[in-house]
Amino acid sequence: MSKTYNEALTSAKPRGFNTKGQETPAGAWNTRVYLRQVVGMYWEIDLPGSRTLSLEGTGAIVIRWGKGFPLQVKYLEQHYTTVFTDIGRYDLIIKGDVHLITKFSNAGYPSLRGSVKGIKNMESLITLELEGGGFTGELDVSACPLVTLTIPESLIAGNFDLLPASLMHIDLRGATGLTGDLSNMYRFAGLRYLDVTGTSLTYDINAPSTLPAWADGIHLGLADLSLTVEQLLLLVTKLVDSSIQEGYLDMSGNNAAFPTEYMELIDGLRQSGWTVYCNEAIPAPGQPWHGGILAYLYQAGDAGYVAGELHGIVITPTDAPDKPWSNITNAFAGATQMATGQGNANTDAIIAQAGHTNSPAQYCHDYVSPDGYSDFCLPTPEDWVKINTNTTAIGGFTSSIYWTSAEPEDNGYSLFETAYAIYLSSEDGYPPAIEQERKEYDYNFRAIRYF
């Protein structure tokens, strides 16, 4: 029966000669005593878990555990590992045919303090996962057919450039001492996951590298690498040209800010389903941004404001042709939201009205920007109040009156025949007027989107 680690169980069996070992319940330690040697214990290992090692396949690793008795590890009735005491701690040396080392962790168990400090002759090693543990020695796995390497937060002496090209999953977050060039990640043709956040990798933009045909959904954690604008642009351009869909890319942290004038590259990835985190340069109203012109950047106190993030309103660069608020002018649509950020709710309410066929709301809903954004709506009155602060920078306004997406609350009288229009001020920052106008009147409008 497999034995699992249990710190609470100990043995007080006297010294002596015992070749079989003491019979104990499952989960307990067995005591093995040898003549003229210190008392030892063995543990049968074949169960995965945070305190176990799952081993298969050649070579030797050394794992430093905490203080305790010397012990033996018995694996598949074949391999034994002797653990020797040395100044208050002991090392566990695992030998044999090893091709899988997985799920070893010392997190939360200070008496274990586990860490790998050396790997030798691991010609069969396929998987090395030390979640929460640590690697403290020379990482030389160049001859291994590794597929998975997970040793985050480790103090290692290793070269990223020499990692086996067979790797598909690489997690070296915070690995101190790791050297090498990030452009060599293109050697990993089957790569599915890479996270080298916070390492000291460089990125040679002149290296002769071509992006392999990585599968959709690839994960690239590249934060805190001190990458320059030029390096970021090269990397993102390669990814855009690759046509990979639905990936994950984190270039945040101490990397350079991605230049505003090239944000269409980031937008292109996001339109392909990518999740992208980068340091976005703070734009100014009137600049091209995420599907149109930046109309307003949310400030502290605004609905939609998130500290440390960029959110706001994008507006189309030109006016749409004037038209009535809706082809239905004698019924209440229920588009009553006045606040910033509620344009989509109003737009949907107008379009959903029975008998609806044509309106500014429909136009905005159907609009697709040249760079592929399709989540536009008709602004609310309060959206227009925000936009009005930057009309000069936005430019292109051909009228002083524009439709909003809101209408007055239905009180059973003639208010259902009216909707709110905005009378823009002639001066930036001066409050505009919000007025009720009959729905059959023709007024200009513009589509917006929130980001």
Tokens 């000069």 belong to which residue?
A: 392
pLDDT (tens digit, 9 = 90+) per residue, 168-200?
999 999 988 889 999 999 999 999 999 999 999
Q: What is the pLDDT of residue 259?
A: 86
Q: What is the pLDDT of residue 412?
A: 59
Q: What is the pLDDT of residue 413?
A: 58
Answer whether residue 372 shows pLDDT above 60. Answer: yes
Percent of the chain with pLDDT over 70: 68
Angstrom distances, CA of residue 22 to CA of 11, 26, 259:
9, 12, 69
Indicate the pLDDT class of residue 153, thresholds 50, 70 and 90: confident
- Cβ-contact 316, 401 below 8 angstroms: no
Angstrom distances, CA of residue 282 to CA of 228, 251, 260, 287, 389:
17, 16, 8, 11, 18
**pLDDT, mean over the chain:** 75
- Cβ-contact 167, 151 below 8 angstroms: no
Lowest mean pLDDT among 138-152, 217-231, 299-313: 138-152
Domains of the chain: 48-59+96-286 (3.80.10), 294-450 (no CATH)
Q: What is the pLDDT of residue 113?
A: 33
Indicate the pLDDT class of residue 57, thresholds 50, 70 and 90: very low
Q: What is the pLDDT of residue 58?
A: 30
Average pLDDT of 276-304? 91
H/E element, 388: helix 381-388
User: What is the pTM for the complete model shown?
Assistant: 0.52
Indicate the pLDDT class of residue 429, thresholds 50, 70 and 90: low
What are φ and ψ of residue 350, in 5° steps?
Answer: -65, -45
| Token reading at 227 | 């990458």
Answer whether residue 30 shows pLDDT above 80. Answer: no
| Token reading at 155 | 């103090």
| 89-96, strands of its sheet edge to edge | 30-32, 40-44, 71-75, 79-86, 89-96, 59-64, 115-120
Of 173, 184, 163, nearest to 224 (Cα)? 173
Q: What is the pLDDT of residue 427?
A: 64
Average pLDDT of 243-262? 92
Q: Is 261 helix (H, G, I), strand (E, B) or coil?
A: helix
30 - beta bridge partners? 42
Kindly compute the dihedral angle of the four CA atoms of residues 92, 93, 97, 98, in this order, to the nearest 10 degrees.
50
Answer whether residue 137 shows pLDDT above 80. Answer: no
Between CA 294 and CA 288 the distance in angstroms is: 6
412 vs 4 pLDDT, higher one: 412
Average pLDDT of 164-170? 95
Answer whether residue 71 shows pLDDT above 50. Answer: no
Answer whether residue 84 shows pLDDT above 70. Answer: no
Q: What is the pLDDT of residue 151?
A: 83
Indicate the pLDDT class of residue 250, thresholds 50, 70 and 90: very high
Answer whether residue 76 shows pLDDT above 90. Answer: no
10 - beta bridge partners? none
Q: What is the pLDDT of residue 124?
A: 61
Q: What is the pLDDT of residue 290?
A: 85
Task: Give long-range contacts, CB 8 A cutoff, 24+ apart: 5-12.
Answer: 5/43, 5/51, 5/52, 7/111, 11/41
